[in-house]
Amino acid sequence: MGVEFFIANILVLILTVVASLVAMLLRDLLAAAVAMAAMSLLLSLEFFILQAPDVAIAEAGVGACLSTAIVIIAINGTKRMEDE
Amino acid sequence: MSGMSKIVKTAVNILFPLTMIFGLYVIAHGHLTPGGGFQGGAIVASGCAMIVVAYGSKWVFKQIKEKRLSSFESIGAVGFIAVALLGLVFSTVFFGNFLAGSSLLFGTIPATGSTGADFNTGGVLPLMNFAVGVKVIAGLFVIVLVMAYASSVKEWDT
């Protein structure tokens, strides 16, 4: 565990928090779903940095693909923009 | 839900075979590399979910029946338990690895130390990975299909 390892760890965690904040604040629901997928992908990258590639593959498959597909299908049944 | 634009459909047509190959690779190499039945099944099911999002649930329901997916899920569960019970028959215990050390399928015992990965090892573990993979593919795909079908129904009868 070198210092560059530590820096990458902190950077990925900060980006995860930023992506989830973007997903919360966006009014366009489709863009928010994509931001949530990016958050899930960054989380799987964090799992990979922490040397759990098994969990990283599961997180990338379920979190970034399947849940995003389900959310996009749900948005397709309603409106795209969020009301005030 | 209806289908999406032609750009999305073309991108999905290109990406779908690659996703399938990668997911089946993760399932088949579950005893050698990170991943296994659940992870590879989730990857294959996300490829199928991509098809559902791009082409719409009506088109997908024309191609496949959910009864067939249900029977696939049952085949996965029954196959897993059947392999475990075969361990009880041919070996001594439940989940006994009766194929390891024999000259049958997946029977080679790898040499100790850091050697190259041999695909033909692992005994019953690849068979169990295949069973779990079939079950996870069918289960996750039917979740996405039911979600797409339920969101395409405009008015409920209640």
Q: For B135-144, how does the pLDDT look when each residue is reduced to its tens digit (9 = 90+)? A: 999 999 998 8
Any domain includes A83:
no
Which pLDDT score is estimated for A64? 87
Q: What is the mean pLDDT of residues A53-75?
A: 89
Distance between CA atoms of residues A26 and B45, nearest Å: 28
Instruction: Report percent pLDDT > 90 for chain B.
Output: 39
| Structural domain count, chain B | 1
What is the number of structural domains in chain A?
Answer: 1
The pLDDT value given to residue B17? 95
Q: Are A42 and A22 in contact (CB under 8 A)?
A: no
Q: How far is B73 from chain A (nearest CA, A)?
A: 18
Contact B33, A57 (CB under 8 A): no
Domain that holds residue A12: 3-77
Sign of the torsion formed by the C-alpha atoms of A49, A50, A56 and A60:
negative
B140 → chain A, closest CA residue: A66
Q: Is residue A70 part of a domain?
A: yes
Tell me the nearest-neighbour CA distance from B125 into chain A, angstroms: 16
Cα dihedral sign, B2-B5-B8-B9: positive
Q: Which of B1, B46, B143, B154 best tests the A interface by mutation, with the highest count of A CBs <10 A? A: B46
- Tell me the pLDDT band of B1, cut-offs 50, 70 and 90: low
Do A64 and B44 form a contact (C-beta atoms < 8 A)?
A: no
- Beta-carbon separation of B151 and A77 below 8 A: yes
A56, A61, A74 member nearest B43 (Cβ) = A61
Residue written as tokens 């979600």?
Answer: B147
User: What is the pLDDT, as a whole number, of residue A4?
Assistant: 86
**Domain presence at residue B86:** yes
pLDDT tier, B149 (very low <50, low <70, confident <90, very high otherwise)? confident
Say which DSSP state B15 is in: H
Inter-chain touch B42–A53, beta carbons under 8 Å: no
pLDDT at B77: 94
B99 inside domain: yes
* pLDDT on residue B157: 54
Whether the per-residue pLDDT at A1 is higher than 70: the answer is no
State the residue range of the domain holding B48: 6-112+119-152
Average pLDDT (A12-27) is: 93
- Let me know if residue B82 belongs to a domain: yes
- Tell me what the pLDDT averaged over chain B comes to: 86
Q: How many CB pairs under 8 A join A and B?
A: 61
Q: Where are the alpha helices (DSSP H) in A26-83?
A: 29-49, 53-59, 67-77
The whole-angstrom distance between residue A42's C-alpha and the CA centroid of its chain comes to 6
Could you give the 3-state DSSP secondary structure of residue B116? coil
